[in-house]
Structure formats: C-alpha cells, structure tokens
Amino acid sequence: MKNKYLFIFLLPLFALLGYSGGAPNGYTGSPGDGNNCTACHSFSGTAPTPTITLTGFPSNTYQPGQTYNLHLEVTGVSNPKTGFQVTIENSSNAKMGGLSSVDSYTQPGQGGNYITHTSLGNANHAWDFQWTAPATSQGDLTVYYAINIANGNGSTSGDYITTGSTNLTENTNGINNISDKSFVLYPNPTKDFINIKTDELINSIDIIDINGKKIEIPVFENKIDVSKLPTGNYFLHIKSNGQNFVKQFLKK
C-alpha cells in the first residue's frame, strides 16, 4: 500500500519539475498546436503587463537557408521564474526550419520544431537561440510564442500565460547567401573579433544593427574588432563580384 501512494504523489511532482525544465511540445498557441500553456497553468488576480520583444530578423524578413541568432526578452515584470516556448509555421500550419540552442538556458524539442527554457533558463527573463530557415522557398512565415510569467511557488497555480506572434516576410530580392563551405564567420557568437574565412573576392563589408543602422568599424584582412559593440544581433552586408550577401552574428 505504501508503494502505491508513493507513486501517486511522485507523478505530479515529476510533471511539475519537467515543466520548470522546459515546456512540453505543442503549447505555443499557434494554429498548428491549438493548445497553449493555460492548459496546465492557472492565474487569478491582477494580470501583469509584460512587454515581449523578439529580435534578430532584419525588418521582420527572412531568407531561405539563412541562420538567424534570435533574442527573446520579457520586460516590465519582476517575477522570479519565467518560461517560454517558440515555434515557426507556414500558412498551412506546418512547422518550418530548425530551432536550436546556443547555451544551456534553452533546449530544442521535436527535432527543432520547438525551443523552450531549461531549468537554468527559467530564472532568466531573456533567452538567445538560433533558427535556420528552410533551404527552399516557403513564402511568408509566422513565429508563435507562449510566455509563462511564473510566481515560483512550485506549482502550476498563480502563473500568468501570454501568447503572441511575429509575421516574417520572405526576402528573395537582391541578397544571396554564400554557402558555409565558401564563407564562414567565426567565432559566432563572439565577444571580441569576427573572422571571415572565404575564397571569394570581397569588395566591401558593412555592419548593420537590427534597426538597420550602419556601424562604422574598420576591417583588417578579413578580421573585424567588434569588442566595443553593445550585446546583440548584427548583420554583415558583403559586396562580392557584383553581388550582395548577408551573414548574421551575435555579439555577446
């Protein structure tokens, strides 16, 4: 009889610990998911008013085959624990591209269809991760996210859930991607320098921030000193052999 009751009480505890270490797949509130985190979490009282910011897509556009360093941030709240889940879908509600981690604060799910927090990441209010767009044209896409503004009481009660989305326009005009075999940025993410490894003839390089502002930084023999840049996502606009190319990097 003792073993029976031990199993009954441990099962809910396991579920709670699992959610604190990452949301189960399929709870972003997207059309493809249907469900969001309110299926498990409940809230009563005065609702918080968080501001959710997703950066890393230039002017909310994407290009097939490109990898984007994304930053999701929650501001306007002071709760001890915060969780999230993100997915990206096309107009038919199919999952698109691959989401992946860049540190121990996030983890992908279902082969990269989702990304969520880890047990280390739920103490944060901001997360960095990557998304690689499909190699072929898929038209316009939508990023869906669910945010759990948790009170840290160890249960699913008292947690405020908010959802949202960002529309992405496919950009196929005037910009091409050089394959990783012929054009490589390293290290990426970086704190001090970005090195450019390529056999292509580079005519010019511009650094653009996420707001589209050009940043004046000298380039010496395909090495760029970015140590004085604020933390965030940036884009290298490269002119080579009469064509324009874009590569993205994350400054830590």
pLDDT tier for residue 10 given thresholds of 50, 70 and 90: very low
Flag whether the pTM goes above 0.85.
no
Q: Answer whether residue 178 shows pLDDT above 70.
A: no
Instruction: State the residue for tokens 């290290």.
Output: 187
Dump strand ranges (E) for the chain: 51-55, 61-62, 67-75, 81-89, 98-101, 106-109, 114-117, 126-132, 141-150, 160-170, 183-186, 193-198, 204-209, 214-215, 219-220, 223-225, 232-240, 243-251
- When the pLDDT of each residue in the chain is averaged and rounded to a whole number, the result is 84
215 vs 186, higher pLDDT? 186
Report the percentage of the chain scoring pLDDT > 70: 87
Average pLDDT on 95-105 reads 94
24 vs 19, higher pLDDT? 24
pLDDT tier for residue 74 given thresholds of 50, 70 and 90: very high
Q: What pLDDT shows up at residue 11?
A: 33
177 vs 129, higher pLDDT? 129
Domains and CATH numbers, the chain: 2-170 (2.60.40.4060), 183-251 (2.60.40.10)
For 164, other C-beta atoms within 10 Å of its C-beta total 13
